[in-house]
Amino acid sequence: MEFLRRLSLLTIFVLGITIALTIVLPALNYQDLQYTGLDIGFGKTLVDIDVFGLGTIVNAELPVSYFALFAYGLPIIAGVIAMISKPLRIVSLVLFIVAFVLFISLPNTINIVYTIAGSESTAEVDWQIAYGVISALVLLGMTIVFNMFVVLFIE
């Protein structure tokens, strides 16, 4: 029984790391363009037009998204909590569920900020979920079920 408990906790931890590593896969699509979780989380300049070095006339960028960074980082935190403390395994389960909800709502929270001649505006984009977020959701679903099994039957 002890071997099964240790193996299950290690599996939860490895799945949490694997979910976080989906940050390098394409997360969102817009028209024919794909943006990885790194682009969405840490921001990316999409367009920067500087004519003759006189200053930026047009600029479009994905700003840093703490929401996306939290969604990608939460599975690692939950996996570590599951490994460290027996009483906090339910907290780990809740954190995996929160990460699942964050990944589902990720397309609704990412906007493009653009600046035209010094006037800054925000554009809402109709994002499509790419295979990186889909794989993270599948892995999160598996981890949630596995974590519930550990909390209910192995503990």
Spacing of C-alpha 144 from chain mean position:
16
Residues 61 and 77: their CA atoms lie apart, in Å, by 29
* Run of H or E including 36: strand 33-36
Rounded Cα gap, residues 151 and 101, in angstroms = 20
Kindly give the confidence (pLDDT) of every residue in the chain, 155 residues in length, as a single tens digit, with 9 standing for 90 and above: 788 888 888 999 999 999 999 999 999 998 888 999 999 999 998 888 877 777 778 888 999 999 999 999 999 999 999 989 888 889 999 999 999 999 999 999 999 898 887 788 888 888 999 999 999 999 999 999 989 988 888 76
Domain chopping of the chain, boundaries: 2-154
What's the whole-model pTM score?
Answer: 0.89
The helix (H) or strand (E) run that includes residue 9 is helix 2-21
Interatomic CA distance for residues 44 and 135, integer angstroms:
23
